[in-house]
Amino acid sequence: MKTIFLHGLFSAFLAGLAALIYNTVYSRAFESDFSAIINPFGIFASSIFGCMIASVGYYFFARRIKTHTDVWFNAIFLLLTFATLISVFSLTLPFTIKTPELFIGLSVPMHFFPILFWLSTKPLFNYNKPIRK
């Protein structure tokens, strides 16, 4: 369990860092300012939240599904990631933000960073052995 949470924290940190860099590059490239909605603290907090949910989810999922655990878990994680995009498309920003059209391009990739780093760092954390009850 400890390894799963470490994996979650590590991937959250990388996802947060990537999102922070992406936010900076995107804001400069498009001269957009979404600082009223997205700030570094929020980026890291949501990354940690997403990856911790994944960790807890994986822990309980692995206790129930003994075969093809990763296949099923990854599919559900991906599905839920796609589901979170609904919030991006339906979000109404403050009218002070002149270009809400650019918000989608900023936030959609960020929603995929947690699963991206979760999957890419998984080989570093060897917890695929059966979990004892």
Residues at the interface with another protein (CB under 8 A): 89-95, 97-104
Closest CB to another protein among residues 1, 104: 104
Contact 129, 59 (CB under 8 A): no
Shortest Å distance, C-beta 90 to another protein: 7
Distance CA 45, CA 40 (A): 8
- The structure tokens listed for 115 are 């699963």
Shortest Å distance, C-beta 8 to another protein: 32
Shortest Å distance, C-beta 60 to another protein: 36
Q: What contacts 102, CB < 8 A, 6 or more positions away? A: 30, 32, 34
Closest CB to another protein among residues 32, 47: 32
Distance CA 66, CA 86 (A): 31
Closest CB to another protein among residues 91, 124: 91
